[in-house]
Amino acid sequence: MSVESQLKSLPEKAGCYLYFNKDKKVIYVGKAKNLKKRVSSYFNKAHDIKTTKLVRDIDSLETIITANEKESLLLEQNLIKKYKPRYNVILNDDKQYPYIAVTNEKDPQYIYIRNYNPNNKLSFGPLPDGTSARKILRTLERIYPLRRCKGNLGEPCIYFHINQCSGACFKDVEKSYYDQQIQKIDNFFAGKSNDVKEQLEQKMFQAAENLQFEEAQRIKEIIEHLEFTTTEQDVDLNDSLNRDVFSYYEMDGYICFTTLFYRAGKLSLKNNEILKNEGQDLSELFKSYITQIYTKNIIPDYIVIPSEIDITDLELLFGNKLINEKEKNSERLLKLAKENATEFLFQKIHYSQNSKITKEEILIQLQELIKLDSFPYQIEMYDVANIANEYVTGAVVVFKNGVVSKNDFRKYNIEIDDEGDYQRMMEMIKRRYQKIIDSKEKWADLIIMDGGIIQVHAAKRALESLNISIPVIGLVKNDKHKTEYLLNLEEEKVSIDKSSDLFKLLENFQLRVHNYAISGFRRRQSKGLLKEEILTKVKGLGDVKVRSLYDKFLSIENMKKASFEELQEVIKNQNLTKKVIEYLKEIK
């Protein structure tokens, strides 16, 4: 059915609409109170150049009716997350802010997470960075102990002996104990308590007096990581509320969204995202961006957005948490966010005149370089990891519009008699596409092999055997394992300027697939070794430590050559390290 025919039969109801290109890939997802009016508006009136480009790419459409507008808003975000359409705002999968959480268990414990989980008892964040979050977590474990071991061990754990565990390892801990600790933790993050800072300062001064200058410096650095709760701010809010402040700035076809995360009245984190606007209404872009933020993050006391943005549909999700009136604090915060967005985008455009600002522009450059017929929206990259032909592990990583799509990553245990890369690559690609052979929308627009002509030929033969046509290129490393050049569609060597954005993006692709393959190989290797592992005979050395030792040293021989300090760095227990060294000496 043609688009014109579909328009006539559209329902006048709330729901979502999906636009497909000629390759049957979803390129845009939207929501509407009235599907017929909204979708028809794309085709029956004049648009600017950007929207015209979107409309030109539409080959077919689908609609999904929902019970109400709120459902359509939620469905829209799920569809965007699923399909990652080219013309929608897509937040990077890697953009996951650090949180410290307290688990919702009888004997709760601290955990460090990158995705907010409402099932936890308490969550604090987003925090400035992973390093700060981990140091804060370790500090809280020392000052306000919860359960730190597995629990129910039948005897006190090592952490209990150094006052860093509640004692759940060997006894029933009163609920009132945890309630008191959690209240203290809550007060700390709310800026209502200086206990942590005062205790750390006391320890720092004591260490200095004892001439333990390295320890004093370490504590000083921890105090600095805690400063996000006490640092002077550009805007003094004089309250302990949590606010997220959103603003934007548009210039030369680019938009910068800025978010200021205030926790306990203090600025804890700032984030800027730049994208190229290609056909979407600015207000819709802005609202989609905000909604996606809260699929991964905690909703604060207030969400502050500019007054020109219509918040009617957002109120269905966030209710009275939304503020966009000209209230004194909100006005100052919005002005500050706007200034940040303006300055960040100006700097990017001003200092990147010879560079590409968004990943989509870089991919267009790749498309032109290899003379690819269509835009490489979905790229898959393949690699294989093994040592001495054992635990052979294949990996595929997926990028959509240049952005990591972790949900589509896959690992493969390759257990075939043939030992060459050619056969292994064929096996992996065959297995992947046999599963999705009937789902063309899941096919890649471009496959990149981590390797040269052998790997490229393997991929092409595997696809041919399945009667699938996908362009394949290779990315070749030099003898120092650094990205060197590209094999194009004609299998010709193409050099890329190593200072260019395209080279950096491809290098990042190659590094990510390599690391993903290696991590899979090491996991299989450590599991296999543990089945007949001799190190587990060392009393006190558990499976986790054994895996960690193999992750670092790879073999018993390397462990024998390691120094006490190198082994101690992994084992983190001097007496146990000594036992391991003595045991290694006995192994022939």
Q: What is the side-by-side order of every strand in the sheet holding 122-124?
A: 110-113, 99-102, 122-124
Looking at residue 230, what is its pLDDT? 40
468 to each of 331, 421, 437, 444, 449, how far by Cα in Å?
Answer: 56, 21, 8, 11, 17
Give yes or no for residue 216 having a pLDDT over 60: yes
- Nearest to residue 287, comparing CAs of 316, 309, 259, 271? 309
Pick the CATH number of 362-523 from 3.30.420.340, 3.30.360.10, 3.40.50.410, 3.40.50.980: 3.30.420.340
Better-scored residue on pLDDT, 437 or 588: 437
Looking at residue 235, what is its pLDDT? 57
Q: Reduced to 3 DSSP states, what percent helix, strand and coil does the chain have, rounded to the nearest 5?
A: 45, 20, 35
Look up residue 117 and give its two tokens. 């989980």
Cα 460-464-466 angle, rounded to 5 deg = 125
Q: Which CATH superfamily is domain 3-83 in?
A: GIY-YIG endonuclease (3.40.1440.10)
Please provide residue 420's backbone torsions phi and psi, each rounded to the nearest 5 degrees. Answer: -85, 155
Look up residue 158 and give its two tokens. 């090592």
Measured CA to CA, the distance from residue 108 to residue 40 in angstroms comes to 54
The domain locations on the chain are 3-83, 99-193, 243-351, 362-523, 533-586
Cβ atoms of 120 and 102 within 8 Å: the answer is yes
The whole-model pTM stands at 0.68
Measured CA to CA, the distance from residue 270 to residue 261 in angstroms comes to 6
DSSP class of residue 252?
A: T
Give the pLDDT band (50/70/90) at residue 229: very low
Look up residue 266 and give its two tokens. 């203090």
Give yes or no for residue 98 having a pLDDT over 60: yes
Q: What percent of the chain has pLDDT over 70?
A: 89
Cβ atoms of 295 and 96 within 8 Å: the answer is no
Give yes or no for residue 232 having a pLDDT over 50: no
Cβ atoms of 545 and 570 within 8 Å: the answer is yes
Measured CA to CA, the distance from residue 276 to residue 363 in angstroms comes to 13
What type of residue sits at position 569? Answer: E
- Fold agreement (243-351, 362-523): yes
Q: Give the SS3 label for residue 527.
A: helix
Measured CA to CA, the distance from residue 398 to residue 16 in angstroms comes to 26
Looking at residue 231, what is its pLDDT? 43
For residues 201-214, average pLDDT: 80
Measured CA to CA, the distance from residue 379 to residue 405 in angstroms comes to 10
Give yes or no for residue 223 having a pLDDT over 80: no
Q: Give the SS3 label for residue 235.
A: coil
CATH 3.30.420.10 describes domain 243-351:
yes
Give the pLDDT band (50/70/90) at residue 45: low
Give yes or no for residue 178 having a pLDDT over 80: yes
Instruction: For the beta carbon of residue 146, count every other beta carbon within 10 angstroms.
Output: 23
Measured CA to CA, the distance from residue 123 to residue 101 in angstroms comes to 4
Q: Which CATH architecture has domain 533-586?
A: Orthogonal Bundle (1.10)
Residue pLDDT, tens place only, 272-292: 888 877 656 788 888 888 888
Measured CA to CA, the distance from residue 382 to residue 259 in angstroms comes to 35
Looking at residue 64, what is its pLDDT? 94
Angle at which helix 564-571 crosses helix 543-553, to 10 degrees, equals 130
Measured CA to CA, the distance from residue 551 to residue 576 in angstroms comes to 18
E-strand ranges in 331-402 read 378-387, 390-400
Cβ atoms of 460 and 473 within 8 Å: the answer is no
For residues 555-571, average pLDDT: 84
Instruction: For the beta carbon of residue 267, count every other beta carbon within 10 angstroms.
Output: 21
Residue that has been written with the tokens 């370089």 in this structure: 369
Cβ atoms of 28 and 80 within 8 Å: the answer is no
Looking at residue 190, what is its pLDDT? 76
Give yes or no for residue 348 having a pLDDT over 50: yes
Measured CA to CA, the distance from residue 371 to residue 507 in angstroms comes to 20
What type of residue sits at position 2? Answer: S
Look up residue 118 and give its two tokens. 């409402």
